[in-house]
Amino acid sequence: MPTLDNNEIRKILPHRYPFLLVDKVLDYDDTRIVGLKNVTVNEPQFMGHFPEIPVMPGVLITEAMAQVAGILVLMTIPDRESKLVLLASIEEAKFRKPVVPGDQLIIEMTVVKRKTFVAKMKGTASVDGVVVAEATVMCSLQDKAAQVPDA
What digits encode the pLDDT tens for the residues 13-30? Answer: 999 999 999 999 999 999
For the chain, domains (ranges, CATH) are 6-145 (3.10.129.10)
| Closest alpha carbon to 94 in 125, 138, 139 | 125
Long-range contacts of 116-119 (CB under 8 A, 24+ apart): 116/141, 117/141, 117/142, 118/88, 119/69, 119/72, 119/73
What digits encode the pLDDT tens for the residues 92-107? Answer: 999 999 999 999 999 9
Structure confidence at residue 146 (pLDDT):
83
CB 18 within 8 A of CB 43: yes
- Is the model's pTM score more than 0.85? yes
Name the residues annotated as catalytic.
49
pLDDT in tens, the chain (151 residues): 689 999 999 999 999 999 999 999 999 999 999 999 999 999 999 999 999 999 999 999 999 999 999 999 999 998 888 899 999 999 999 999 999 999 999 999 999 999 989 999 999 999 999 999 999 999 999 998 888 777 5
